[in-house]
Amino acid sequence: MRFLDLGSVCVLFFLLSCEPACGETSGVNPCCYLPCQNQGVCVRYAEDRYECDCTLTGFYGGNCTIPEFWTRVHHFLRPSPGVVHFILTHFSWIWDIVNSTSLRNTLMRLVLTVRSNLIPSPPTYNSKYNYLSWESYYNVSYYTRLLPPVPEDCPTPLGVRGEAGLPDPEQLVERLLKRRTFRPDPQGANIMFAFFAQHFTHQFFKSFNGMGLGFTRALGHGVDAGHIYGDNLERQLQLRLHKDGKLKYQLIDGEIYPPTIVDAPVKMTYPPTTPLEQQLSFGHEHFGLLPGLGMYATLWLREHNRVCDILKAVHPHWDDEQLFQTSRLIIIGETIRIVIEEYVQQLSGYHMKLKFDPTMLHRSDFQYSSRIALEFDHLYHWHPLMPDALIINGDTLTYQQFLFNTSVITHYGIENLVWAFSKQPAGQIGGGHNLHASMAHVAVKTIEASRLLRVQPFNEYRKRFNLKPYESFREFSDNEDIVHQLEELYHGDVNALEFYPGLLLEKTRPGAIFGESMVEMGAPFSLKGLLGNPICSPLYWKPSTFGGEVGFDIVNSATLKKLVCLNTKTCPYVAFRVPTQAELEEDNRKRKNEL
Ligand code: HEM
Ligand SMILES: *[C@@H]1O[C@H](CO)[C@@H](O)[C@H](O)[C@H]1NC(C)=O
Ligand SMILES: *[C@@H]1O[C@H](CO)[C@@H](O)[C@H](O)[C@H]1NC(C)=O
Ligand SMILES: *[C@@H]1O[C@H](CO)[C@@H](O)[C@H](O)[C@H]1NC(C)=O
Ligand SMILES: *[C@@H]1O[C@H](CO)[C@@H](O)[C@H](O)[C@H]1NC(C)=O
C-alpha cells in the first residue's frame, strides 16, 4: 500500500465512491451519504428514503443540485476566491490609490457583508442536534455547528467515507504535522502575533470538556473581554479593586503587574510546586501557562486602569461600577480595532488597508449576534506558530523553562518581552511538518474529538464556503511526501480527508502563512464574530456609550503600539511582524540612547 501509483489510487477511489447505486443500501441511513448539496437539508423518511429541503438555496432537484436561473447568473459573475485573493495581495499601486479614496469603504463593506453572509445568524445546529431545535438555539453552553454533525447511526464518523478505516491520529500527527526543522511564516508574523492570537481567541474558545465535548465556558460567544475580567461575575468581582472602576494589581519595581492569588483569590491552574508569589491571577484560568499570555494580560490590565483614570477625570461623579463597565466597553472596542486593522491585516497579507468602522453596516441587514462555532475553534489550533524556544535578551528559554513560569514576566519586564517577541519570527501555520513536539498531543486530541463530534469531511466544508472540493490529494497538496502519506493514510479517498488535517496540510498559497481554505473559512467566522458585537450596533456605537468623546476617541485611535507605549516607560519596536533591517537598526540606536 505504501507506494500506490496513480492508477491504483483511481481504482480505489472508484470503488469507494460508487455508493448507493452499486452498494447494498439497506440499513444505512441515507443521510449518511451527505446527499444534499448547496446547503440543502437532509430529512430521513422510511428506511432508505430521504428528502432534501432546498428552500432558499437557489437550487432544486432531488439533491438540490440544479441551479435556478439567477443562481446560474450569479455564479457566472462571481469571481473565484483565488482571483480575489490574488488581486488583494498584488498590484500595490492600485491599492495605494484605493487606500486613500472612498473606494476603500465600499470594498471594505463588500468584504464584510460577503464574508458574514456565509455564517448563519441566528445560529443553527450544535454537536447534539443535527436538526433545528429550540434547545440548540437557546442553550449557549454549546458551541454552534456550521454544518450539522454526521448522524450517530452512520457507518463511519464521516458518514460513509473512510470505511476502509481512518488513520490513527498519532500517526497522522507524527508523520505529517510534527516539525522537522522550524519554518518561519513567509509573511513575517512574529511571536508577538502568536501570543496575541492565543490570548485574544481564548476569550471565546474555552472548551468545557467537563460538561462534555462540544461545550464552552465562554458564554459571551465573542469579544467580551472575559479573558481579562473572568467569564463569570464572581470571578470578576474578585479581580476588581472596587475603587475607581479599576482592577486589582501589584507593584514590582514601581511597575504594575497582575495581583497574586493571595490578593485576588480566583481559580488558576499552576503546578502545585509553584511558589505563591509566582501564582498570578488573570481573567483566564490558564494564562499562567505562557509568559506571552501574562504579558498581554499585564498590558490590558494597565490599559484598563489607565482608561479608568481618564474617565474619572471627566466624570468625577461616576461610581466604581460605571467607571468599570464603561472602561470594559472601551477595552472591547480597542480590541476589535486592533484585531481588524493590525492583526487581520497582517494575517491577510492584503494590500488593501482594512478599516474598522461599524457604521459601514448600519444601513444593511447585518445581524448583531454571534455564536462561536466548534469548527472555528478547531480551525484556530494554530500551534505551528510556536517556535522551538523563546529568545529574550539573548537568553534561550526552552519550553521546560518558560511553561508556567510567570517569573519570566517580572524578571525581564514588559518592554523586554515586547521587544523580544516582536523580533522573533513565528512558524508557518500551513504546509505541514511545523508543529513543535510539545504540542503534538493537542493536535491528536483535536482529531480524536472531531471524530467523536462527527465533524463532516474537509471537502464538505470546502463546498459550504463556495470552494471547489478537491478531487485528489495531488490537487490538494504540492508536497510529494504529503501526497503519498495521505493517499496511504486515507486509502486514496480525498473525500475522507478530515477537516482539521485538511486545513493544516493543504498547499499554502505562494508566500503565505496558510492555504486557501483557512482564509476562506476563517475570515467569515472571524469577521462575523467581530462585527456582530453589540458595541458595533447603531444604538451602542456612539460617544456616550464610551463615556463621551474622550472614550470614543480611545476606541477610534487604538493601536498595538499605543497599547504598549502608553503603558510602559520606554517604547520598544512593537508590531505583529518581524522588523526590517532598517527598523532593527533604528530600534538598536534608540535603545542605546535610552540606556
Ligand atoms: C507553547 C504554546 C502553547 C501550548 C503549550 C498550548 C497548549 C494547548 C493545550 C494543552 C490545549 C488544550 C487541548 C485540549 O485539551 O484539547 C490548547 C488548546 C488550544 N490552543 Fe493552544 N497552546 C499553545 C499555543 C497556542 C497558540 C499560539 C494558539 C494560537 C491561536 C493556540 C490556540 C489554541 C486553541 C484555539 C485551543 C482550543 C481552546 C479551547 O477550545 O478551549 N494555542 N493549547
Ligand atoms: C442524489 O445523491 C445520491 C447519492 O448521494 C445519488 O445516489 C442519487 O442518484 C442522487 N439523486 C439525484 C436525483 O441526483
Ligand atoms: C495601503 O495599505 C497597505 C496596507 O496597510 C499599505 O501596505 C500601503 O502602504 C498603503 N498605501 C497607502 C498609500 O497608504
Ligand atoms: C445545556 O445543556 C447541557 C447538556 O444537556 C445541560 O447540562 C445544561 O444544563 C443546559 N444549560 C441550560 C442553561 O439549560
Ligand atoms: C523561570 O524563569 C526565570 C527567569 O527567566 C529563570 O531564572 C528560572 O530558571 C525559570 N525557572 C525554571 C524552572 O526554569
* DSSP track, 289-306: S-HHHHHHHHHHHHHHHH
Does the pLDDT at position 22 exceed 80? no
* Structure confidence at residue 586 (pLDDT): 87
Active site residues: 202, 380
Does the pLDDT at position 192 exceed 80? yes
Mean pLDDT of the residues in the chain: 94
Separation of 473 CA from ligand 2 center, angstroms?
24
364 falls in which pLDDT band (50, 70, 90)? very high
- Rounded-to-integer distance, Cα 259 and Cα 245, Å: 16
Separation of 272 CA from ligand 2 center, angstroms?
58
Mean pLDDT within 113-140: 97
8 falls in which pLDDT band (50, 70, 90)? very low
* Structure confidence at residue 1 (pLDDT): 32
* Structure confidence at residue 21 (pLDDT): 43
Task: For 398-417, write each residue's pLDDT tens digit.
Answer: 999 999 999 999 999 999 99
Does the pLDDT at position 13 exceed 60? no
* Structure confidence at residue 422 (pLDDT): 98
- Rounded-to-integer distance, Cα 529 and Cα 514, Å: 21
Of the listed ranges 46-50, 213-217, 572-576, the least confidently predicted one is 46-50
Mean pLDDT within 565-586: 94
Does the pLDDT at position 146 exceed 80? yes
Does the pLDDT at position 592 exceed 90? no
Amino acid in the structure at residue 330? I
* Structure confidence at residue 9 (pLDDT): 38
Per-residue b or e along 213-250, where b marks 16 or more CB atoms closer than 10 Å to that residue's CB: ebbbbbebbbbbbbbbbbbeeebbebbbbeebbbbbbb
- Tell me the pTM: 0.94
C-alpha grid cell for residue 414? 514588559
99 falls in which pLDDT band (50, 70, 90)? confident
Q: Whose CA is nearest to atom 12 of ligand 3?
A: 96
Task: For 243-284, write each residue's pLDDT tens digit.
Answer: 999 999 999 999 999 999 999 999 999 999 999 999 999 999
CB contact at 8 A, 431 and 514: yes
* Structure confidence at residue 595 (pLDDT): 63
Q: Whose CA is nearest to atom 4 of ligand 5?
A: 408
* Structure confidence at residue 476 (pLDDT): 98
Does the pLDDT at position 473 exceed 60? yes
CB contact at 8 A, 182 and 424: no
Is the Cα dihedral 349, 353, 358, 360 positive or negative? negative
Mean pLDDT within 66-89: 92
Mean pLDDT within 368-381: 98
Does the pLDDT at position 2 exceed 50? no
Task: For 501-511, write each residue's pLDDT tens digit.
Answer: 999 999 999 99
Q: Which of 127, 192, 198 to mutate to test the pocket of ligand 1 (most atoms within 8 A of CB)?
A: 198
Does the pLDDT at position 230 exceed 60? yes
Separation of 168 CA from ligand 3 center, angstroms?
46
CB contact at 8 A, 430 and 383: no
Does the pLDDT at position 6 exceed 70? no
* Ligand 3 binding pocket includes 464 (Cβ within 6 Å): no
Does the pLDDT at position 64 exceed 90? yes
* Ligand 5 binding pocket includes 420 (Cβ within 6 Å): no
